[in-house]
Amino acid sequence: MSKKMKSCSLTEAERERLLEEELERNPEKCYQLLLNSKHLPFSIQGADFKKIDESEIKLQDFVRLVEKKFDVIWYIGLDCIGNEFFERFMFHHGGLMEISMHGKIKCFFAENKCEKMEKALLYAVQKMSGEHAAKIVKKEIKTGQKLISLKKSLLKEGK
């Protein structure tokens, strides 16, 4: 990510503290929003470095637009999940978001904020890619409650 995005990144201690607070709020529920779409403005196919740089700039703009309609977003770092790299974010009022440059977005909340997040994502897509892309993305969004608790999921991930 560029210097602008990294300037908002959290220290490891801050990240751990926020994660602990998130778990204490409601450890037994986890709502999720999943999106896999090539219609996201930052989505790339291939590994051309110029495209990756352009995509990172678009991702930053996308996150800022989501932030306008949803909540303050903190960048917490890059993570490898499976064979893919995800930029990870934490919301000020609770929740996590993972974004892949291949057009995948995963959001997790202790409280049901999926509808508000969906509206924020569609707002960002519409602003950056137009109404047609937003209509396609709307059909690709999946929401629901996870069967495993957020606490158990995070504890397993940390091992």
List pLDDT tens digits, range 75-111.
999 888 778 889 999 999 999 999 999 999 999 998 8
Position 150 confidence tier, pLDDT thresholds 50, 70, 90: low
Per-residue DSSP letter, 41: T
With the CA atoms of 91, 96, 97 and 98 taken in that order, what torsion angle do they form, in degrees rounded to the nearest 10?
140
What would the pLDDT profile of 135-147 be if each residue is shown by its tens digit?
Answer: 999 999 999 876 5
Q: φ, ψ for residue 117 (rounded to 5)? A: -65, -40
**DSSP-derived 3-state class of residue 126:** helix
* pLDDT tops 60 at residue 8: no
Contacts of 104 (CB under 8 A, 6+ apart): 34, 35, 36, 84, 86, 98
Percentage with pLDDT > 90 across the chain = 52
The structure tokens listed for 121 are: 């994502």
Dihedral sign for Cα 55, 126, 37, 119, please: positive
How many helices and strands, by DSSP H and E, does the chain display?
Answer: 6, 6
Task: Identify residue 155 by its one-letter amino acid code.
Answer: L
Task: Identify residue 128 by its one-letter amino acid code.
Answer: M
Q: What is the pLDDT of residue 6?
A: 43
